[in-house]
Amino acid sequence: MADEVDAGTEVEAATEKGRGASVEVEAGVCGYTTSVTARKTEGYNVSVAIASECPHVSAIASEVAEVDALHQIGLRGGLPTVLETAYRHCVHAACPVPSALVKAIEVAAGLALPRDVSMRISND
């Protein structure tokens, strides 16, 4: 229970500190980098800006410029619109950018803490 309280307090502090989140993605073998910036506007609405060297990821930007974060964080009601849009434009199923979009939106809305994620991939 104490961990839940601490995490809740940490989310509130992070949300108060800034009204947004930034995620930098180095996608891997393709060599493209992407910057995602999400800013809380009103309620749980979040504006999203994407800057990418990848033409497929760049095509996502205009379709996800403003979203309701509460409709982007779960899968039980179907695929969130941000992911639907991203998967429609991305040509590689393992592209990490769609996940980065959702993480930026969650953090900007105060629904998650800003924490790095990583994958280490090797041939065994």
Q: What is the pLDDT of residues 38-69, one digit of tens each?
A: 999 999 999 999 999 999 999 999 999 999 99
Taking residues 68-73, report their average pLDDT. Answer: 95
pTM equals 0.84
Provide the pLDDT for residue 87: 94
In sequence order, which residues have a C-beta less than 8 Å from that of residue 31 and are 6 or more positions away? 53
pLDDT band at 70 (very low <50, low <70, confident <90, very high): very high
Domain 2-108 CATH class label:
alpha beta
Beta-ladder partners of 21 = 38
Angle between helices 81-89 and 97-108 (to 10 degrees): 150
Beta-ladder partners of 47 = 39, 66
Provide the pLDDT for residue 77: 87
Taking residues 94-110, report their average pLDDT. Answer: 97
Provide the pLDDT for residue 19: 85
pLDDT band at 4 (very low <50, low <70, confident <90, very high): low
Average pLDDT, the chain: 89
User: Taking 50 as the threshold, does the pLDDT of residue 112 lie above it?
Assistant: yes
